[in-house]
């Protein structure tokens, strides 16, 4: 099987005002999305290992780098991250899951983000060209830090075609602009936000 990427799209945003209040620092988020050929579109295939071997490791390296480059940051500056797959209508959600839910995808991603430790949160669904995907984001070192729980909506107008998959990686330099609900650590200790 050959790696076939039709295009890579990078989407970024910087939020300066949230909830009618200026952010102390802009919330900077970027996602890189690869539109790839789905060799299993339109048929059932039991063994997904060739798909994993072709795409997982390569995209686990390419996409986080592209997202970080678009923000002009290093992996040490990434505070939170996530991943996703949007599968064209002739594919199975399992095809996208096979690519992103592997250590060959996750380990390079975590290493690029300063040896991050948490599992990458994910979103997977099937959809037509132009469908949106809400990428889940969590803190890269501690999943209980609620300030970094958020989503980032992405879409590509002409993808995925029925025989394609979009694989996405998202990174951010901070959590939400004005977090004030407290961490799960505190709540587990019986301390609630005031």
pLDDT in tens, 93-139: 999 999 999 999 999 999 999 999 999 999 999 999 999 999 999 99
Could you tell me the fold of the domain covering 5-188? 60s Ribosomal Protein L30; Chain: A; (3.30.1330)
CB 38 within 8 A of CB 86: no
Q: Which helix (H) or strand (E) holds 152?
A: strand 150-154
Q: Which band of pLDDT confidence, cut at 50, 70 and 90, is reported for residue 194?
A: low
Please state, in angstroms and rounded to a whole number, the distance separating the CA atoms of residues 50 and 52: 5
pTM of the full structure: 0.95
Domain boundaries defined on the chain: 5-188
142-163 per-residue burial string, b: 16 or more CB within 10 A, e: under 16: ebebbbbbbbbebbbeebbbee
Q: Write down the pLDDT at residue 148.
A: 96
CB 26 within 8 A of CB 14: yes
């Amino acid at each position: 099987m050959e790696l076939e990427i039709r295009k890579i799209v990078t989407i970024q945003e910087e939020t300066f005002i949230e909830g009618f209040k200026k952010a102390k620092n802009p919330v900077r988020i970027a996602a890189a999305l690869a539109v790839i050929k789905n060799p299993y579109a339109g048929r059932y295939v039991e063994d997904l290992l060739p798909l994993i071997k072709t795409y997982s490791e390569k995209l686990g390296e390419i996409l986080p780098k592209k997202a970080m480059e678009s923000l002009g940051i290093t992996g040490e500056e990434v505070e939170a991250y996530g991943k996703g797959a949007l599968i064209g209508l002739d594919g199975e959600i399992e095809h996208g899951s096979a690519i992103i839910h592997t250590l060959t995808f996750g380990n390079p991603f975590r290493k690029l983000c300063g040896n991050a430790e948490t599992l990458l949160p994910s979103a997977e669904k099937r959809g037509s060209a132009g469908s949106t995907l809400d990428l889940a984001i969590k803190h890269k070192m501690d999943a209980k830090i609620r300030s970094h729980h958020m989503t980032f909506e992405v879409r590509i107008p002409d993808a995925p075609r029925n025989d394609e998959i979009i694989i996405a990686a998202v990174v951010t330099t901070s959590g939400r602009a004005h977090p004030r609900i407290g961490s799960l650590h505190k709540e587990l200790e019986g301390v609630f936000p005031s």
